[in-house]
């Protein structure tokens, strides 16, 4: 009998010793194995839009760097809240990521009952790129500059209208910021997307738009729209001849959108560093650089802490604009 007991103890001891390296590997050496399988990148918009295109281009080269496939999963709805919440509640293991945008910083001011906290529930990975809007008018319009726009708006308060493609979008808030800083009264006309708004601008139903480079560039090039300024802090290589709104008569004006990668809070810091490195490499690819020109992106791929600082600054500046304009999305 004693022999059987000792044998059982030896077997238990061997089992424990055999399992111990695996336990260590699952914690301290997890980085050596990461990534082992497909990574999901959640895009909180429908397929085909600007954010989707940026995410797919980034994912392709990040996947090459990481040695795995990064699968794009579109989860649109509720002003990006559905897709964003899906990431907030995912396991923090580096296999579910979020392509965050301008809405990540403004939703806390637009929605008082967000089902997640944009800081507490996420870990920043990389600020990938910034983008901007372009101010466009009908080519037959007498408005040929920002100075003309301000003068016309002040001459007839509330008469001029500007189209937006969604309450609380970067284009909508760019217009609200312009109204606030230029001290003018423009009538907001909401649309369900950029295309119908631009159609009405070309048709003369509205007077001006703050819209994305992707939606306006070809129309400006073929003369269907006239571009009068860009909303970025510096002039853009996409429209080098255009002044910034700041230069053109509204000192201090800047309205940018952006793209940033996030993981669920609690994701190990070494995995965050690995993903940041892959993102920084991916934005240097020819495909992403070409996309940057077409979409009017300023490619940056900065460290996690810079993305966190940037978002906090964006939250603060847009909170005031949203509150002053009384904008709410319920």
- pTM of this structure: 0.81
| Per-residue model confidence (pLDDT) at position 122 | 98
Total Cβ atoms within 10 A of residue 213:
23
Domain holding 62, by residue range, is 37-128+259-325
CATH number at residue 43: 3.40.190.150
Is 140 among the domain residues? yes
Query: How many domains, the chain?
Result: 2
> Is residue 237 one of the residues assigned to a domain?
no
110 part of a folded domain:
yes
CATH code: domain of residue 154: 3.40.190.10
Q: Are residues 142 and 105 in the same domain?
A: no
10-residue averages of pLDDT along the chain (330 residues): 47 46 50 90 88 93 97 92 97 97 93 92 95 94 97 96 86 92 94 87 96 87 96 87 95 93 97 97 93 84 91 92 82
Distance between CA atoms of 178 and 171, rounded to whole angstroms?
A: 11
> % helix / strand / coil in the chain, to the nearest 5?
45, 20, 35
Dist. CA 79–CA 4, nearest whole Å: 66
CB half-sphere exposure, 10, CA atoms < 13 A: 6
* Same structural domain, 214 and 170: yes
**Alpha carbons 169 and 212: distance in angstroms, whole number:** 11
pLDDT digits (tens, 9 = 90+) for 25-47: 444 555 678 999 999 999 998 88
Give alpha helix (H) positions in the chain.
2-27, 30-33, 50-66, 81-88, 102-110, 146-155, 170-182, 194-203, 213-221, 269-282, 286-295, 304-325
Same domain, 136 and 91: no
Does some domain include residue 244? Answer: no
Q: How does the average pLDDT of the chain come out, rounded?
A: 88
| SS3 at position 90 | coil
Bond from prior residue into 35 cis (ω within 30 degrees of 0)? yes
Q: Which of 123, 126, 128, 127 has the alpha carbon at shortest distance from 264? A: 123
Q: Is residue 291 part of a domain?
A: yes
């Amino acid at each position: 009998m004693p022999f059987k007991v000792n044998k059982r103890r030896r077997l238990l001891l061997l089992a424990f010793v055999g399992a111990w390296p695996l336990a260590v590997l699952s914690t301290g050496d997890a980085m050596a194995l990461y990534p082992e399988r497909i990574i999901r990148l959640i895009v909180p918009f429908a397929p085909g839009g600007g954010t989707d295109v940026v995410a797919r281009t980034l994912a392709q080269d990040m996947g090459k760097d990481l040695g795995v496939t990064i699968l794009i999963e579109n989860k649109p709805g509720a002003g990006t809240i559905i897709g964003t919440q899906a990431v907030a509640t995912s396991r923090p293991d580096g296999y579910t990521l979020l392509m965050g945008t301008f809405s990540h910083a403004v939703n806390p001011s637009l929605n008082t009952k967000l089902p997640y906290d944009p800081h507490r529930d996420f870990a920043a990975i990389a600020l990938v790129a910034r983008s901007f809007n372009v101010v466009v008018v009908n080519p037959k319009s007498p408005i040929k500059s920002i100075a003309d726009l301000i003068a016309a708006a002040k001459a007839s308060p509330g008469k001029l209208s500007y189209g937006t493609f969604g309450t609380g979008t970067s284009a909508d808030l760019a217009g609200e910021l312009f109204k606030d800083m230029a001290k003018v009264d423009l009538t907001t006309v909401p649309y369900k997307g950029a295309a119908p708004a631009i159609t009405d601008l070309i048709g003369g139903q509205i007077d001006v738009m703050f819209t994305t480079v992707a939606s306006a560039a070809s129309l400006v090039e073929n003369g269907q729209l006239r571009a009068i300024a860009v909303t970025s802090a510096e002039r853009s290589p996409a429209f080098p001849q255009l002044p910034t709104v700041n230069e053109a008569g509204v000192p201090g004006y800047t309205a940018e959108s952006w793209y940033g990668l996030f993981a669920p809070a609690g994701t190990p810091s070494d995995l965050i560093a690995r993903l940041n490195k892959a993102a920084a490499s991916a934005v240097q690819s020819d495909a992403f650089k070409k996309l940057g020109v077409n979409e009017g992106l300023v490619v940056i791929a900065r460290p996690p802490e810079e993305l966190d600082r940037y978002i906090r600054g964006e939250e603060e500046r847009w909170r005031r604009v949203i509150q002053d304009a009384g904008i709410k999305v319920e």
